[in-house]
């Protein structure tokens, strides 16, 4: 009897600890989901911890138990964006075995993410671009499988296959990245300022860009 009592007590403690951990994770996720909704609605300038707390019926003090400040919570919001972005690029990579088609698919996946997540994109790659390195070092992106590495690998494979000319793969990746980033950035910031920048015309421009890069990089 005495031998089984500690074991039973240990099981009870384990179950209690597991319940507390689940509750903590559920609370953190509720905070994060409310923050994502507010960020998508209000953007960076209108985002505040107090309003997030009010939206889910918590006190600001509760928020600070899970996130140390506004930046920490915003980074968590953007971390989900980095994860979705990486997953979109990985899907494009995996579903297009042809090296040339893969480069085009990555450009289109990049564009679609930017157009469908405009606030995330601006925060991730324009307003707080230093978070890219922080996201790559976090558990949200598997080592050697971040968004840049996916594109770099695609360039290396295209060079090996003779689809594009041999050269420094990092320089070529930077060239391709900077072009599509420029188009997405202008699409998000200059709509209504520069003529012919609605989504239909932006997609046409990306089609022209990928064709131009294919010709320019041809061996």
Q: What is the pLDDT of residues 187-196, one digit of tens each?
A: 988 777 777 7
* pLDDT given at position 141: 44
- Of 217 and 134, the structure prediction assigns the larger pLDDT to 217
- Of 62 and 168, the structure prediction assigns the larger pLDDT to 168
Q: How would residue 105 be classed by pLDDT, with cut points 50, 70 and 90? A: very high
H-helix segments, 57-198: 60-66, 70-94, 99-116, 118-122, 131-137, 147-160, 169-189
* pLDDT given at position 151: 95
Q: In the numeric block, which tokens belong to residue 216? A: 């320019």
Angle CA(153)–CA(158)–CA(159) in degrees, nearest 5? 100
Domains and CATH numbers, the chain: 1-67 (1.10.10.60), 78-219 (1.10.357.10)
Q: How far is CA 32 from CA 77, 96, 185, 188, in A?
A: 7, 34, 26, 25
Q: How many CA atoms lie within 13 A of 15 on its CB side?
A: 6
Is pLDDT above 70 for 145?
no
Q: In the numeric block, which tokens belong to residue 134? A: 């922080």
* pLDDT given at position 179: 95
0.95 cut: is pTM over it? no
Can you tell me the mean pLDDT for 151-158? Answer: 96
Is pLDDT above 60 for 174?
yes
Is pLDDT above 50 for 1?
no
- Of 34 and 207, the structure prediction assigns the larger pLDDT to 207
pLDDT in tens, 33-68: 888 888 778 777 777 888 888 888 888 888 888 888
User: Would you say 90 and 150 are in contact if contact means Cβ atoms under 8 Å apart?
Assistant: yes
> How far is residue 66's CA from residue 83's CA, in Å, rounded to a whole number?
20
User: Would you say 155 and 172 are in contact if contact means Cβ atoms under 8 Å apart?
Assistant: yes
């Amino acid at each position: 009897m005495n031998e089984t009592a500690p074991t039973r007590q240990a099981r009870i403690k384990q179950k209690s600890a597991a319940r507390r951990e689940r509750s903590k994770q559920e609370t953190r996720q509720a905070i994060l989901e409310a923050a994502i909704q507010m960020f998508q609605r209000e953007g960076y300038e209108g985002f505040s911890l107090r309003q997030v707390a009010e939206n889910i019926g918590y006190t600001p003090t509760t928020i600070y138990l899970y996130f140390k400040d506004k930046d920490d919570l915003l980074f968590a919001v953007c971390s989900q964006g980095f994860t979705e972005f990486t997953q979109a690029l990985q899907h494009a990579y995996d579903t297009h075995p042809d090296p040339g088609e893969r480069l085009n698919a990555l450009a289109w996946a990049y564009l679609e993410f930017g157009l469908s997540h405009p606030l995330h994109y601006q925060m991730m790659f324009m307003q707080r671009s230093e978070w890219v390195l922080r996201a790559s070092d976090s558990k949200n992106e598997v080592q050697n499988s971040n968004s840049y590495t996916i594109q770099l690998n695609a360039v290396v494979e295209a060079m090996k296959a003779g689809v594009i000319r041999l050269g420094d793969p990092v320089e070529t990746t930077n060239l391709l990245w900077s072009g599509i980033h420029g188009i997405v950035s202008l699409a998000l910031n200059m709509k209504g300022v520069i003529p012919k920048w609605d989504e239909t015309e932006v997609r046409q421009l990306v089609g022209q860009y990928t064709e131009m890069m294919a010709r320019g990089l041809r061996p």
